[in-house]
């Protein structure tokens, strides 16, 4: 029993509180006084020294560029949309080219009587169905997206009437017609240029719209690498940004929207097919059917009309008229 008490007293002595510090700090040995001592956190009673910081400005690697505002063309007129190494790109907009009553019955007749079909195209070796219906008229076949539409000389009488009206208004001649039917807002045509060799250099294309309104969009193409550009283009199109845009980023290129309503005629002139792309994008709200008649010229040999060609035309450019700068 006494041995147990003795062991308890010994163990209890270990639980005594530690003695309080006397307030005196231990002296640092002389051989360490010349060395700096890390003062430790501020909670220890020391305040860390502040190291002065300096900031040096560096020019950004890429220039800062603003996204150009999208322009909208709605009023009738001729518009110069760009002037570059390829030449002047122009649009001519003629809303109400066809009176509403006339456009109504023409739309219904063409919708019911034209031989509409869905074309199969090819891209990167993959086939896909065009998201619209088409038909072709002309003495020569037409090839785009690695797919050919056969020649068709059996013009619908109404199409011949419309071609004559367009030629009289524009003072151009056209030997071919690509018809597009957008059945609803989900039908579309993606970004492209009508620059096939069979269309010749700087083709004039007349586009007549019937049916519901759809937005026709255009975007400027970056100048080809190594081409000569104006001072304005050189400032806004830096080399490495151009390389990025050539790889598919058109964020900083000019864009134009043209709402095309029932009976509207739009002409693309000059270098528009060289310097711009266009599309009719999908719309995710209710849209009725729309017919788009695109009059153009197809030549039997690449590069445009040659001496003796039956397809040669007397004019590719409409009469001169005042231009509006977009």
Distance CA 19, CA 325 (A): 93
pTM: 0.72
The answer to whether 119 and 300 have CB atoms below 8 angstroms apart is no
What are 286's two structure tokens? 């209710």
Strand partners, 138: 152, 176
Distance CA 49, CA 86 (A): 66
What are 160's two structure tokens? 């011949």
pLDDT for the residue numbered 36: 53
pLDDT in tens, 216-227: 999 999 876 555
Q: CB-based contacts of 195: which residues, under 8 Å, 6+ apart? A: 203, 273, 274
- Output the 3-class SS for the chain: CHHHHHHHHHHHHCCCCCCCCCCCCCCCCHHHCCCCCCCCCHHHCCCCCCCCCCCCCCCCCCCCCCCCCCEECCCCEEEEEEEECCEEEEEEEECCCCCHHHHHHHHHHHHHHCCCECCEEEECCEEEECCCEEEEEECCCEEECCEEECCECCCCHHHHHHHHHHHHHHCCCCCEEEEEEECCCCCCEEEECCCCHHHCCCCCEEEEEEECCEEEEEEECCCCCCCCCCHHHHHHCCHHHHHHHHCCCCCCCCEEEEEECCCCEEEEEECHHHHEEEEECCCCCCCCCEEEEEEECCCCCCCCCCCCCCCCCCCCCCCCCCEEEC
pLDDT for the residue numbered 310: 40
pLDDT for the residue numbered 43: 54
Among the listed residues 317, 267, 321, the one whose alpha carbon sits nearest the alpha carbon of residue 295: 267
Among the listed residues 68, 65, 97, the one whose alpha carbon sits nearest the alpha carbon of residue 81: 68
pLDDT for the residue numbered 46: 60
pLDDT in tens, 300-321: 975 555 544 443 444 444 444 4
Those residues of the chain that have pLDDT short of 70 are 1-48, 60-64, 224-248, 302-326
Would you list the domain boundaries of the chain? 78-215+259-320
In this structure, which CATH number among 2.60.120.590, 3.90.850.10, 3.40.47.10, 3.40.228.10 belongs to the domain 78-215+259-320? Answer: 2.60.120.590
pLDDT for the residue numbered 251: 85
pLDDT for the residue numbered 326: 57
């Amino acid at each position: 029993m006494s041995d147990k008490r003795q062991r308890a007293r010994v163990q209890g002595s270990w639980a005594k509180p530690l003695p309080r510090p006397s307030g005196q700090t231990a002296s640092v040995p002389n051989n360490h006084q010349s060395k700096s001592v890390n003062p430790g956190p501020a909670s220890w009673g020391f305040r860390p020294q502040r190291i002065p910081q300096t900031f040096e400005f560096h020019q950004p690697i890429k220039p800062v560029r603003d996204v150009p505002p999208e322009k909208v063309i709605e009023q009738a007129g001729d518009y110069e949309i760009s002037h570059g190494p390829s030449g002047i790109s122009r649009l001519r907009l003629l809303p109400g080219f066809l009176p509403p009553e006339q456009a109504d019955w023409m739309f219904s007749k063409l919708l019911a009587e034209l031989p509409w079909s869905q074309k199969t195209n090819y891209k990167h070796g993959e086939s896909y169905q065009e998201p619209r219906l088409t038909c072709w008229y002309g003495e020569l076949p037409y090839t785009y997206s690695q797919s050919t539409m056969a020649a068709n000389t059996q013009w619908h009488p109404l199409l011949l009437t419309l071609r004559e009206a367009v030629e009289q208004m524009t003072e151009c001649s056209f030997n071919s017609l690509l018809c597009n039917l957008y059945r609803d807002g989900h039908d579309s045509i993606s970004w492209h240029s009508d620059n096939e060799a069979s269309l010749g250099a700087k083709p004039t294309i007349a586009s007549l719209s019937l049916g519901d309104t759809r937005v026709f969009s255009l975007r400027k193409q970056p100048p080809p690498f190594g081409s000569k550009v104006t001072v304005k283009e050189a400032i806004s199109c830096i080399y490495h940004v151009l390389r990025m845009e050539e790889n598919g980023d058109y964020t900083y290129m000019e864009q134009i929207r043209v709402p095309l309503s029932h009976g509207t005629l739009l002409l693309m002139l000059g270098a528009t097919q060289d310097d711009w792309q266009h599309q009719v994008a999908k719309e995710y709200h209710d849209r009725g059917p729309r017919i788009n008649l695109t009059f153009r010229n197809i030549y039997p040999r690449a590069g445009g009309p040659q001496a003796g060609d039956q397809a040669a035309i007397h004019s590719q450019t409409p009469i001169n008229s005042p231009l509006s700068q977009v």
